[in-house]
């Protein structure tokens, strides 16, 4: 099956930029997503990128995709304490229905 890997933890100071990384193995992935999960809550869709793009920006969020290296990153500018959460990357396979494969999640801690 598909493998989606993320580092488990990241700590940053409030006001700094955060960069959360993700690697995947399925070269036929069509879309890649970033979700945020706060404690005890469901997953909130933050943004997604089509596989033929290499960058997408949405306010404080910048997604970079290196398709050759199968590497996806999420940069959060001016990180705030409210950004503390677990961030999951996910990929959608080319064939099949709408199945998403999630990474292991990165717990972001923002230090005031």
Q: Which residues bind another protein (CB under 8 A)?
A: 4, 30-31, 33, 35, 40-45, 48, 50, 88, 92, 97-100, 102-105
- Closest distance of CB 77 from another protein, Å: 23
Beta strands in 3-52 (DSSP E): 4-6, 9-13, 18-24, 31-37, 43-50
How many angstroms separate the Cα of 98 from the Cα of each of 65, 75, 95?
Answer: 21, 26, 9
User: Please, which residue, 16 or 23, has the CB nearer to another protein?
Assistant: 23
- Closest distance of CB 54 from another protein, Å: 17
- Closest distance of CB 15 from another protein, Å: 28
């Amino acid at each position: 099956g598909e493998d989606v890997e993320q580092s488990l933890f990241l700590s940053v100071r409030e006001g700094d930029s955060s960069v959360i990384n993700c690697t995947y193995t399925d070269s036929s992935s069509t879309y890649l997503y970033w979700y945020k999960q706060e404690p005890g809550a469901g997953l909130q869709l933050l943004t997604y990128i089509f596989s033929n793009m290499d960058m997408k920006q949405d306010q404080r969020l910048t997604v970079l995709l290196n398709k050759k290296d199968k590497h996806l990153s999420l940069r959060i500018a001016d990180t705030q304490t409210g950004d503390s959460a677990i961030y999951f990357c996910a990929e959608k396979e080319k064939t099949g229905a709408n199945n998403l494969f999630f990474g292991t999640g990165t717990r972001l801690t923002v230090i005031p």
